[in-house]
Each structure stands twice: as C-alpha cells, then as structure tokens.
Amino acid sequence: EAGVTQFPSHSVIEKGQTVTLRCDPISGHDNLYWYRRVMGKEIKFLLHFVKESKQDESGMPNNRFLAERTGGTYSTLKVQPAELEDSGVYFCASSLRQSTDTQYFGPGTRLTVL
Amino acid sequence: AQKVTQAQTEISVVEKEDVTLDCVYETRDTTYYLFWYKQPPSGELVFLIRRNSFDEQNEISGRYSWNFQKSTSSFNFTITASQVVDSAVYFCALSPNAGNMLTFGGGTRLMVKP
C-alpha cells in the first residue's frame, strides 16, 4: 500500500511568487493534515481536513495560505505571495477515520523562498 | 495549552551503546495520546509508537522500549544496543482526545557512530 506522497520534494522560488504544494494521502484515509517546520523551530500544525471539509484551520499563519481538498482525495496548499519566512519543510499526514487514529506522514516538501 | 519538551537537542553515541531520549509533556486534558516519530536522513516522519493516557504499561519492540510515567509527565524512549541505522531525528508528540492536532517537541538528533 502506498504511503502519503508529496510533490514537489523541493521548491525554490523568489519572494512574491506563488507556489502550490500537493499531498496525496493514503487511499481511504478521510483525515488529512498539513504541518510545517520552519528553520530552527518545532513542527507546527497548520490545518486538518475531514474529507473535503476543513475541520480545523487554527494553525494557518495568514491569508497568504490557501488549502483545498476538492473531492476529499488529494490536497493542495498554495502560498501566494510567498515571503522569506515561509521557507521550511511542509509535511502532510493522513489518518483513517477516527479523530485519534494514528497520523502517517509524507516525506515533506522543502520550500525555499529567496 | 499543550507543550512537549525534548531537552536533548543532540546525542552522540558509539554503536552498541544504549541511549535514552527524553520527552516531557504538559497538558490539561485528562485523556491524551503520546507518539514517537523517527525522521531518518531521507526526511519522512516514520511512526514508531502511540500510547494513550490510560495505558501506562511500558512497551518493548525489539531494541526499542518506551517508558510512560504519568506522575512525571514523561514518555521516554530507549534504544538498546544502538546501530548506525538508528541515526535520525526523533520527535515526541502529543494530541488531545477530543481533537487530533499533534503538538511536537523540538526533536532530538541521534548520531550513532561505528
């Protein structure tokens, strides 16, 4: 069974540009989460989808970040316009159905904003 | 508010030594879940273990063991007879029962030298 996949693995963009990250959860997982780790800090929660609905987006830093999960399958996280402080590793995770099912993580996307 | 502290930012051992990674947590929830994840050089977060707050039994899985002590709010992880392949960053995490956002510690980088 395929795990959580993320694309791209690495993205380098200039300040002010737009970047879209993609996450494909494990097949059949209703819950999808985004986290990020900026340089030197802890991994921080961004938001949580249950199927196509946003369950909790309390961790989204500002309105330059837009997450979608149309159809309840894969998800995208768009940063527009990107700022220097957005650099870091963006992780996606998925879990089955119950709110306390274990979250399985993808390899992350390393975003560098110059 | 929840908090996870991994006081050891970096540990270096020689192969075959035993090593313990510390994790201390804070939460006001009466029910919660604790996790350990491993991040090898390839970058993905690999799930290792999950415990709920009602189950204080220690767990052993091969060379890995976990010591959960509610009285001291600790969930320590011991690797017995460490191997070079154990070199990675290890994260301890906490999630509440009602929600499922993970709160991570800062991670401990373990280097096992041959």
State pLDDT tens for residues B32-75. 999 999 999 988 899 999 998 988 888 888 999 999 999 999 99
Quick one: closest CA in A to B49, which residue?
A102
Q: Which of A35, A100, A107 is closest, CB to CB, to B44?
A: A107
Quick one: closest CA in B to A101, which residue?
B100
Q: DSSP labels for chain B?
A: --EEE---SEEEEETT--EEE--EEE---SSEEEEEEEE-TT-PPEEEEEEETT----EEETTEEEEEEGGGTEEEEEESS--GGG-EEEEEEEEESS----EE---EEEEEE-
Q: How confident is the model at residue B99 (pLDDT cuts 50, 70, 90)?
A: low
Q: Which of A58, A101, A108 is closest, CB to CB, to B43?
A: A108
State pLDDT tens for residues A75-98. 999 999 999 999 999 999 999 887
Which pLDDT value is given to residue A47?
95
State pLDDT tens for residues A43-80. 999 999 999 999 999 999 999 999 999 888 999 999 99
Q: Any CB–CB contact under 8 A between B1 and chain A?
A: no
